[in-house]
Amino acid sequence: MKFARHLIFAAAALLAATLAAPQAFAASQVLCAPEAAGTAAGPKVVVNPNTNVRYSLNSGGCAIIASGDIGYMLSQGYTPGPSLNTLIYTTGALPASGTGDIVIGAIPAGAYIQQVIVQNTTANAVTGGVSLGTTANGTDIVAAQAVGANALVFVTDATLLKRVFSTTAGTPLHLAPVTSSNTANLTVSIIYGYF
């Protein structure tokens, strides 16, 4: 009798957990493989046999999974991965004058920008601020964010002009001083997620 009652409670708890689990309505989701004892470390490729789509897992055992494969991967024990990632780039001392463009990285396919944070570790303000774009000296993401001496700047939502990018290819990100860098040393942190 006790066993049957425990079985009923376990089934009810499983049903409640299933109904409470967040659903993925987006085009993709980061999912991570279940930990398996005694398996070799390193890159791994997984295939959904229903769609024949192949995914390469990163060193953490995670991959960006297309919406059509999410159900299968969840049924295999995969769990949602980190919802946000960070791209960090430190410029080093920029040239004393000019508006040289720097490619600071790329936003992955299917990603959106959540936040941008800029830190200046020198006593020199960036004249005219900095721009962030998808082309050299581009201003389509951030037009002219003021960056003072020894500043830590959060780019506000109103200043963040573009957040969503290609669903099929990574998009390069270009940083440039608008007027003059004044040998500032900037660290740019771009927090992004997947849609």
158 Cβ partners below 8 Å, 6+ apart?
none
Would the pLDDT of 39 be above 70?
Answer: no
Rounded percentage of the chain residues whose pLDDT exceeds 90: 56
* Model confidence, pTM: 0.70
Give me the residue spans of the domains in the chain.
20-80, 85-194
- Note the CATH number of domain 85-194: 2.60.120
Q: What was the pLDDT predicted at 6? A: 36
What backbone phi and psi angles, to 5 degrees, belong to 32? -120, 140
Token pair listed for 95: 């040239």
Please write the tens of the pLDDT for every residue from 127-162.
Answer: 999 999 999 999 999 999 999 999 999 999 999 999
